[in-house]
Amino acid sequence: MLLRAFPDFAKVAGTPGVKDWSLIGFDTDAGGVPVRMRTLHTTGNAALDAAAAKAVGESRFTGGARTDCLYPYWKAAEKLPAPPIPDEEALRPEGSVCASKPEWNSRPVLVFPEPWRRRAIEGWAVVSYDVAPWGAVGNARVLASQPSEDFGRQAMSIVQSGRVAASAQGAAASRPCASSWGAATASRSMTRSGFFDG
């Protein structure tokens, strides 16, 4: 290949939550100029299909006529925002004695669910959990999550990776926590738009 052209991806609108792609078929003439460009397979993004065919037409190949050549182009998914987060206080277990912003000795490790990150799909979870007097977090359970249970499972793992500051009382199983920080860690931090940069 002498010159490989690319679509101006900044001018091609993507699809939220879906990686778009376009497979262009083409032939080349004796001088290596692409001819008879056609879209063979696509996710249906017409703007990408047109830009991909144009890019193939602007590419140049070594001399010699060829037929049935293929070249794929793809565009990363656009961010698909999370559904609205419910009022956390409405989900807080009755009798909860946790502070709304617990003091973490060891902050939870934030990890986004990988299949959803790859597709730029945001989500959230509200997790209830108990805190032992020595600060260990346990008995985590998902009160709500969207758009998938994957966010709830990941949020439980995140909350359990932390350790709250020790206290005389803790929060026994009969008086569980659903603190705003614990829930927000699995929601706001997971849904910040910058998470998908790069």
Contact 133, 77 (CB under 8 A): no
Q: Provide the whole-model pTM.
A: 0.67
Q: Which has the closest alpha carbon to 91: 9, 157, 146, 158?
A: 146
Q: Which has the closest alpha carbon to 127: 172, 93, 169?
A: 93
Give the residue range(s) of CATH 3.30.2420.10 domains in the chain: 9-75, 88-196
* Residue 98, pLDDT score: 65
Distance CA 57, CA 4 (A): 10
CA atoms within 13 A on the CB side of 42: 17
Distance CA 118, CA 126 (A): 22
pLDDT along the chain (198 residues), means of 10: 92 94 96 96 96 97 92 94 83 69 81 88 87 84 89 88 78 40 32 24
* Residue 99, pLDDT score: 62
Q: What class is the 88-196 domain?
A: alpha beta
* Residue 46, pLDDT score: 96
Fold of 9-75: TolA/TonB C-terminal domain (3.30.2420)
Distance CA 60, CA 56 (A): 8
Distance CA 161, CA 143 (A): 18
Residue 41, CA distances (Å) to 4, 196, 197 in order: 20, 27, 28
* Residue 130, pLDDT score: 82
